[in-house]
């Protein structure tokens, strides 16, 4: 890992995948843990910094007066494997998709369903990234954090991360003073493809009829193709992926909605509740492709909002509120924002 230390103290524009203008007054580029005492000193004087890496899941304000830390520590350390899994520590600033590619190339399958998700390794546990039937929580053995309140680092075991659907302890009050430094992955030696998601049906059929003919690379290629067909590339059309979480509702509400909307898309949860497809709800309200000034609902995936040029945080929130209100009026379902709205 690099040992260079770089601090910039001047107004600096923060790049973010939503393409929102945001100027910060103090930005530290974190490359190495030798910088931790300096960050701790800044915390003691100015409080908790805003921590960013890929800035692919944040809605940023126009001015950021808090100190900002840009995670740019990269690299991995291969540990002694467990009987059932390869164990690898990966630095928080490592690009997520690059790590997925590296893991497959090194012969460690298990992350292929999570291909092409924008962002960094360190951000992945924060929102417990999930796609195509797999959540990060299923592949994590621990997370190393720096705790600004104690001025020390420590490893959290997986249960301590309190992973939930797009949720974790890192998003909750307990994690409010932590910096994710490294993520420990446990990638299964006895790999089985995860093919339950509807979009993976072609591979599932192949797997069921001709066992062992589906490789991790095939799942990776399929997921990449589906994502490229459905989701806008943030480097071309600035966005933060899904803008709302898929709402989880009671079985009573689900049954009522199903009677009036027979085509409702919903997935039964193990606790008996139902997760509704927010994209379907928004689509039904007629929002696909609709513009709200410089913000548009994507025309292939209604769950994604796109900055068509010049949008600011307020524009994004206005569009989001209008959409959430329409869904609440029509279905009685409350949509929650998925990206972190920074204040
Ligand atoms: N749908 C519509 N209209 C739309 C969009 C979706 O009818 O405009 C319907 C689809 O036909 C489908 C259902 O809604 O039946 C679900 O759509 P999709 O498979 O595209 O997934 P999603 O629920 O919209 C979630 C994640 C994505 C993840 C995909 C695949 C959330 C908030 N989003 O989207 O994650 O890639 O599943 O697993 O859980 C992200 O978090 O940024 C993200 C992109």
Burial class, 271, CB count within 10 angstroms (exposed 0-12 / middle 13-18 / buried 19+): exposed
Hey, what CATH class is 239-341 in?
alpha beta
Out of 112, 113, 225, 242, mutate this one to test ligand 1's pocket (max ligand atoms within 8 Å of CB): namely 242
- Which CATH fold would you assign to the domain 76-188? 3.30.465
Residues 6+ apart with CB under 8 A from 263: 280
Say how many Å lie between the CA of residue 9 and the centre of ligand 1. 40
Instruction: Tell me if residue 338 is catalytic.
Output: yes
Nearest-CA residue for ligand 1 atom 32 is: 245
Nearest-CA residue for ligand 1 atom 40 is: 242
Instruction: Tell me if residue 300 is catalytic.
Output: no
Nearest-CA residue for ligand 1 atom 33 is: 242
pTM: 0.95
Residues 6+ apart with CB under 8 A from 9: 25, 26, 27
Domain boundaries of the chain, sorted by first residue: 6-71, 76-188, 198-230, 239-341
Nearest-CA residue for ligand 1 atom 9 is: 280
Catalytic one of 72, 139, 166, 204: 166
Say how many Å lie between the CA of residue 245 and the centre of ligand 1. 9
Gap between the Cα atoms of 303 and 244, Å rounded: 7
User: Which pLDDT tens digits describe the chain residue by residue (343 residues)?
Assistant: 333 334 445 689 999 999 999 999 999 999 999 999 999 999 999 999 999 999 999 999 999 999 999 999 999 999 999 999 999 999 999 999 999 999 999 999 999 999 999 999 999 999 999 999 999 999 999 999 999 999 999 999 999 999 999 999 999 999 999 999 999 999 999 999 999 999 999 999 888 887 668 999 999 999 999 999 999 999 999 999 999 999 999 999 999 999 999 999 999 999 999 999 999 999 999 999 999 999 999 999 999 999 999 999 999 999 999 999 999 999 999 999 999 999 8
Is the CB of residue 302 below 6 angstroms from any atom belonging to ligand 1? Answer: yes
**Domain 6-71 maps to which CATH number in 3.30.43.10, 3.40.640.10, 3.30.365.10, 3.40.50.150?**
3.30.43.10
Whole-number pLDDT of residue 6: 42
Whole-number pLDDT of residue 8: 46
For residues 96 and 54, the answer to whether their CB atoms sit within 8 Å is yes
Whole-number pLDDT of residue 290: 98
Out of 277, 297, 302, mutate this one to test ligand 1's pocket (max ligand atoms within 8 Å of CB): namely 277
């Amino acid at each position: 890992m690099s040992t260079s230390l770089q601090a910039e103290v001047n107004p600096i524009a923060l790049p973010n995948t939503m393409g929102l203008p945001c100027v910060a007054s103090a930005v530290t580029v974190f490359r190495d843990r030798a910088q931790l005492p300096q960050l701790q000193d800044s915390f003691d004087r100015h409080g908790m910094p805003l921590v960013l890496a890929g800035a692919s899941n944040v809605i940023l304000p126009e001015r950021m007066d808090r100190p900002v830390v840009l995670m740019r520590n990269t690299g991995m350390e291969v540990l002694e494997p467990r009987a059932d899994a390869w164990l690898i520590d990966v630095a928080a600033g490592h690009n997520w998709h690059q790590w997925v590619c590296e893991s497959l190339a090194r012969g460690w399958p298990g992350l292929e369903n999570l291909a092409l998700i924008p962002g960094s390794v360190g951000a992945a546990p924060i929102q417990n990234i999930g796609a195509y039937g797999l959540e990060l929580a299923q592949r994590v053995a621990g997370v190393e954090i720096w705790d600004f309140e104690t001025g020390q680092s420590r490893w959290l075991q997986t249960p301590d991360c309190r992973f939930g659907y797009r949720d974790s302890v890192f998003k909750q009050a307990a994690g409010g003073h932590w910096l994710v430094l490294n993520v420990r992955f446990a990638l299964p030696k006895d790999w089985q493809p995860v093919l339950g998601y509807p979009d993976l049906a072609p591979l599932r059929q192949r797997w069921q009829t001709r066992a062992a003919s589906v490789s991790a690379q095939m799942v990776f290629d399929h997921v990449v193709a589906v994502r490229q067909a459905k989701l806008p590339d943030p480097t071309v059309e600035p966005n933060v992926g899904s803008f709302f979480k898929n709402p989880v509702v009671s079985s009573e509400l689900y049954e009522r909605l199903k009677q009036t909307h027979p085509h409702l898309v919903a997935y039964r949860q193990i606790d008996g509740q139902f997760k509704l497809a927010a994209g379907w709800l928004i689509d039904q309200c007629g929002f696909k492709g609709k513009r709200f000034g410089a913000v548009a609902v994507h025309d292939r995936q209604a769950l994604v909002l796109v900055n068509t040029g010049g949008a600011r945080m307020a524009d994004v929130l206005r569009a989001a509120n209008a959409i959430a209100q329409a869904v609440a009026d029509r279905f009685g379902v409350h949509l929650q924002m998925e990206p972190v709205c920074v204040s």
